[in-house]
Amino acid sequence: MTTAMAPGKIILVGEHAVVYGRPAIAAPVWQRVAMATIEPAAPGAGCSLHARDVDLHLRLTVAGDDEPLAVVTRLALAQLGVAQEPDWRIELHSEIPIASGLGSGAALSTALVRAIFRQLGHEAEPAQVSSLVYESERFYHGTPSGIDNTVVAYGQPIWFVKGRQIQPFTPSVPLTIAIADSGVRSPTKTTVGDVRRAWQREPARYESIFDAIGELVCTTRRAMEEGDLPALGRLFDANQTLLESLDVSSETLHRLILAARRAGALGAKLSGGGRGGNVIALVEEEVVNRVSDALYTAGAQRVIVTQIGAEAR
């Protein structure tokens, strides 16, 4: 039996603009992982995939080209030179809520690719994994930037610009982030598509917003490198204002953000596609419990506290 896992992820700053070539900063969330397990099946049984969390059961031979897990399985096998379908039973499980902005699709595909490589006696390099998983991301995102598959495959904070070499880096001081799940499912593909249509109608206006987000991301990196937490909190708030101008926030997210700020968070914003999913709040250790309680009171379904730059795997 072979097992592999992959973390969830959050985008700290830069979502949506990253699709249009601006930088973004993202980090893994090891408190929530996806897992893939491969066991031999009876001779001649072929390869089957079972994701019980979403009641998905596939036979690889008959799965269509629109099924992302089947696509990534075929691509991984092809890269390893396996022409004949192996007799495997693949079990997939994820602790990551679907359509919540935590990268559930990328994490499942990443765990799957790593398990396939290990089952065949190889360890996949992060760049290999990221490239393979990217092919499945278009099913979840429509026009993916590549940031989800990259940060999940590398498992560390990254500076990301679409089409350029990634830059893993570590903040000069660990960042404590409270992640609040709004409980509202919001597929990233939908919000990315809506922003694209709005950009096509008003390209000058949207390019100006994307430019502002890109500049903010550059300033955010400097604040992270200098360990300036108050400045970083203000940048979270400013990024949220820009995301609201893209019409990807919501009353539910605003309520959570306001609750976090009032409870002492240095800054808070949505993370991911928006309109649902998660809110992230930058907090200091002494207010973690107070901010978490405030988020639950404001309607959060769950709150995860993670440290960026000091992930416990």
Q: Supply the mean pLDDT for the chain.
A: 93
Residue 117: which CATH number? 3.30.230.10
Query: Do 25 and 41 sit in the same domain of this protein?
Result: yes
Query: Do 46 and 192 sit in the same domain of this protein?
Result: no
Query: In the chain, pLDDT over 70 holds for what percent of residues?
Result: 96
Whether 298 shows a pLDDT value over 60: the answer reads yes
The DSSP-derived string for the chain is -EEEEEEEEEEEE-TTGGGGT--EEEEEEEEEEEEEEEEE--TT--EEEEEGGGTEEEETTT--TT-HHHHHHHHHHHHTT--SPP-EEEEEEE-SPTTSSS-HHHHHHHHHHHHHHHHTT----HHHHHHHHHHHHHHHHSS--SHHHHHHHHTS-EEE-TTS--EE---SS-EEEEEEE-S----HHHHHHHHHHHHHHSHHHHHHHHHHHHHHHHHHHHHHHHT-HHHHHHHHHHHHHHHHHTT---HHHHHHHHHHHHTT-SEEEEESS-SSSEEEEEE-GGGHHHHHHHHHHTT-SEEEEEEETS---
Query: Do 140 and 108 sit in the same domain of this protein?
Result: yes
Query: Do 179 and 151 sit in the same domain of this protein?
Result: no
Query: Do 32 and 123 sit in the same domain of this protein?
Result: yes
Query: Do 130 and 186 sit in the same domain of this protein?
Result: no
Whether 313 shows a pLDDT value over 60: the answer reads no
Q: Which whole number is the average pLDDT over 271-278? A: 93
- Asked if residue 313 belongs to a domain, the reply is no
pLDDT per residue as tens digits for the range 13-51:
999 999 999 999 999 999 999 999 999 999 999 999 999
Report pLDDT for 130: 94
pLDDT per residue as tens digits for the range 89-136:
999 999 988 777 788 889 999 999 999 999 999 999 999 999 999 887
